[in-house]
Structure 1
Amino acid sequence: MTTPDTSDDAFVPGLRLARALYEEAVRPLLAREFPHLPYAAARVGAGSEVLGFDSARSADHDWGPRLELFLSPADAARHGPRLHGLLAHHLPRQVRGVPTHFRRGEDPHDPVRHLAWTDGPVDHRVEVHDLPSWLAGRLGPAAAPPGPDTPGPDTLGWLALPQQRLLEVTAGAVFHDGPGELTAVRERLAWYPEQVWRYLLACQWQRISQEEAFVGRCAEAGDDLGSAVTAARLVRDLMRLCLLLERRYAPYGKWLGSAFARTEAAAELGPLLRGALAARQYADRERYLCEAYEAAGRRHNALGLSAPVEATRRPYHGRPYLVLHTERFARPLLAGLTDERLRALPPVGAVDQWADGTDFLGRPHPARAAVDALANRSEVEGS
Structure 2
Amino acid sequence: MDDEELLKQLEAFTDRSETIAATGNEAADDTQVTDKLGSESANKSVSEPNDERISNPPDQPATFDVHAFLAGLDAIFDAHGAATKAGPYLEQAAVDAENARDNAGLLTVLNETMGFYRSQGRHKDNQWVIQRALELALRMGLEGSEAWTTTLINAATAQRAAGNMDQAEELYQMALDSARHTLSPTDRRLAALHNNLSMVYSETNRNDKAEAELREALRILESSSPNADTDLDVASTHTNLALVLLAEHRLNEADQQATQALNIYRNGHLEHSAHYASALAGAAQVRFTAGDYAAAVDLYRRSLAVIDECYGRDTDYYRVTEENLRQAEAAASADTASATNAGTDDATSSASVLSAAVQPSTESATAMSAVPSALSASSARAAAQPISDTPSSSNSTTDSPSPISGLALARAYWLTYGKPMIAAKYPQYQGRIAAGLVGHGSECYGFDDAISHDHDFGPRFCLWLTDDDYAAIGAQLQADYDALPHECMGYTRIDATTATPRAAQSSASRRDGVFAIGDFFESITGYRSAPADDRPHEWLMLDEATLAAATNGAVFADPLGDFSAARQGFTFMPDDVRLALISRRIGMMAQAGQYNVPRMLERGDGAAAWLSINEFVHAAASLVFLMNEPVTVGYLPYYKWQFAALRRLSLRVATRLADVCEQLESLLRLSSTACYGGAGFGEGGRGAAPAIAQVNGIIEHICAEVVTELKREGLTRSDETFLEWQRPYVEEHIQSDATCLRSL
Distance 1:88 1:225, change over 3 A: closer
Contact 1:46 1:168 in 2 (8 A): yes
Residue 19 of structure 1: CA displacement?
Answer: 1.0
Does 152-161 or 56-65 show the bigger shift? Answer: 152-161
Q: 1:234 aligns with which of 595, 607, 616?
A: 616
Contact 1:14 1:49 in 2 (8 A): yes
Residue 23 of structure 1: CA displacement?
Answer: 1.4
Q: Give the corresponding residue for 2:458.
A: 64
Contact 2:462 2:515 in 1 (8 A): yes
Distance 1:256 1:178, change over 3 A: same
Q: Give the corresponding residue for 1:298.
A: 708
Contact 2:464 2:515 in 1 (8 A): yes
Matches within 5 A, 1:281-320: 281=689, 282-307=692-717, 309-310=718-719
Residue 131 of structure 1: CA displacement?
Answer: 1.0
Structure-2 separation of matches of 1:21 and 1:268: 38
Contact 1:65 1:125 in 2 (8 A): no
Q: 1:32 aligns with which of 424, 429, 433?
A: 424
Q: Partner of 2:734: helix, strand, or coil?
A: coil
Q: Unaligned stretches of 5+ in structure 1? A: 115-123, 312-323, 349-383
Distance 1:182 1:163, change over 3 A: same
Structure-1 separation of matches of 2:713 and 2:489: 44
Residue identity in the other structure for 1:288: I
Residue identity in the other structure for 1:60: D
Q: Give the corresponding residue for 1:52.
A: 446
Contact 1:104 1:111 in 2 (8 A): no
Q: 2:743 aligns with which of 340, 347, 366?
A: 347
Structure-2 separation of matches of 1:153 and 1:5: 53
Distance 1:224 1:33, change over 3 A: closer
Q: Partner of 1:92: helix, strand, or coil?
A: coil
Structure-2 separation of matches of 1:166 and 1:30: 30
Residue 225 of structure 1: CA displacement?
Answer: 3.9
Distance 1:244 1:103, change over 3 A: same
Distance 1:204 1:106, change over 3 A: closer
Contact 1:246 1:263 in 2 (8 A): no
Is 1:169 matched up with 2:566?
A: no
Residue 5 of structure 1: CA displacement?
Answer: 4.0
Structure-2 separation of matches of 1:237 and 1:31: 48
Residue 175 of structure 1: CA displacement?
Answer: 1.1
Q: Partner of 2:471: helix, strand, or coil?
A: helix
Distance 1:180 1:151, change over 3 A: farther
Distance 1:270 1:162, change over 3 A: closer
Structure-1 separation of matches of 2:636 and 2:494: 32
Structure-1 separation of matches of 2:694 and 2:532: 49
Contact 2:434 2:555 in 1 (8 A): yes
Q: Deviations over 1:149-196 (max 9, x none)?
A: x95672222111121221222111111112211111122221311111
Q: Give the corresponding residue for 1:328.
A: 725
Structure-1 separation of matches of 2:700 and 2:638: 26
Distance 1:106 1:44, change over 3 A: closer
Q: Deviations over 1:264-288 (max 9, x none)?
A: 3675223322332233332221112
Structure-1 separation of matches of 2:399 and 2:502: 20
Contact 1:70 1:130 in 2 (8 A): yes
Structure-2 separation of matches of 1:57 and 1:294: 38
Contact 1:104 1:112 in 2 (8 A): no
Matches within 5 A, 1:1-383: 5=400, 10-37=402-429, 38-89=432-483, 91-100=484-493, 102=495, 104-105=497-498, 110=501, 112=503, 126-140=512-526, 142-144=527-529, 154-211=535-592, 212-247=594-629, 248-264=634-650, 268-279=659-670, 280=674, 281=689, 282-307=692-717, 309-310=718-719, 324-341=721-738, 343=739, 345-347=741-743
- Bigger Cα Rg: 2
Q: Partner of 2:462: helix, strand, or coil?
A: strand
Distance 1:106 1:25, change over 3 A: closer
Of structures 1 and 2, the one with the larger relative CO (CA 8 A, separation 6+) is: 1
Contact 2:433 2:559 in 1 (8 A): yes
Q: TM-score, normalised by structure 2?
A: 0.39
Residue 301 of structure 1: CA displacement?
Answer: 2.4
Contact 2:583 2:727 in 1 (8 A): yes
Contact 2:463 2:514 in 1 (8 A): yes
Residue identity in the other structure for 2:637: P
Residue 347 of structure 1: CA displacement?
Answer: 2.5
Q: Deviations over 1:52-78 (max 9, x none)?
A: 111112222222211111122233233
Residue identity in the other structure for 1:299: E
Structure-2 separation of matches of 1:62 and 1:34: 29
Residue identity in the other structure for 1:32: A
Residue 3 of structure 1: CA displacement?
Answer: 10
Distance 1:48 1:159, change over 3 A: same
Distance 1:125 1:238, change over 3 A: closer
Count how many residue pairs are aligned between Structure 1 and Structure 2. Answer: 313
Q: Deviations over 1:98-145 (max 9, x none)?
A: 2235361498xx36469xxxxxxxxx97511111122222222x4338
Residue 306 of structure 1: CA displacement?
Answer: 3.6
Richer in strand (by share): 1
Q: Deviations over 1:247-276 (max 9, x none)?
A: 241111111111111223675223322332
Structure-2 separation of matches of 1:293 and 1:125: 39
Structure-2 separation of matches of 1:178 and 1:62: 29
Structure-1 separation of matches of 2:551 and 2:740: 29
Residue identity in the other structure for 2:543: P
Q: Partner of 1:272: helix, strand, or coil?
A: helix
Structure-2 separation of matches of 1:262 and 1:22: 27
User: Once the two structures are aligned, what percentage of the paired residues are identical?
Assistant: 26
Cα RMSD of the aligned pairs, angstroms, is: 2.8
Q: TM-score, normalised by structure 1?
A: 0.73
Structure-2 separation of matches of 1:80 and 1:172: 22
Residue identity in the other structure for 1:310: D
Contact 1:206 1:326 in 2 (8 A): yes
Q: Deviations over 1:28-55 (max 9, x none)?
A: 1111111011211121111111111111
Structure-1 separation of matches of 2:422 and 2:619: 46
Q: Partner of 1:213: helix, strand, or coil?
A: helix
